[in-house]
Amino acid sequence: MAAATQTPNLLIIIDDSSFDLRINSGIASHTKLFKQIVCFSSAEAALDFLAENISNPEIFPHIIFLDIQMPEMDGFEFLERYDTFPGDFKEKSHVIMISSTDDLRDIVRADSDKNVVKLLKKPLRIEELKALVAKIYK
């Protein structure tokens, strides 16, 4: 039952927009739910970071905010690579997609991906974020 009382230590935010990274990291920081927030402007850099630190409990991403629409590697391509990570890693790490998309195909695809907890609209909202984290860690 230790997982039930666990709270997230590390939040990773992946978004190609420096504006969205600044806004969403500020909102996440304001909630005081996370000990550390690490931002990546590319999905490839985030995957490299995760692969390099996969066995390091000090740098374990409990929650990953993932943008859908990014150049070079979009959020869904990230998820394909993320799916190759060990099962115990994926069980403890929660991917939340964040996007401003209204494209029904993106919404359905995010909702049906087994590694995605939820799709949130940009920008993040404090109360919605708090409620989602509480639901994940209840």
Instruction: Report all structural domains of the chain as residue ranges with CATH numbers, in order of start.
Output: 15-136 (3.40.50.2300)
Per-residue confidence (pLDDT) for residue 7, from 0 to 100: 64
Positions of the chain with pLDDT lower than 70, given as ranges: 1-7
Q: pLDDT for 78-102, tens place per residue? A: 999 999 999 989 998 999 999 988 8
Q: Supply the DSSP string of the chain, one letter for each residue.
A: -HHHH----EEEEE-S-HHHHHHHHHHHHHHT--SEEEEES-HHHHHHHHHHTTT-GGG-EEEEEEES--SSS-HHHHHHHHTTS-HHHHHH-EEEEEE----HHHHHHHHH-TTEEEEEESSP-HHHHHHHHHHHT-
* pTM more than 0.85: yes
Mean pLDDT of the chain: 91
Q: Encoding tokens for residue 115?
A: 């590694």
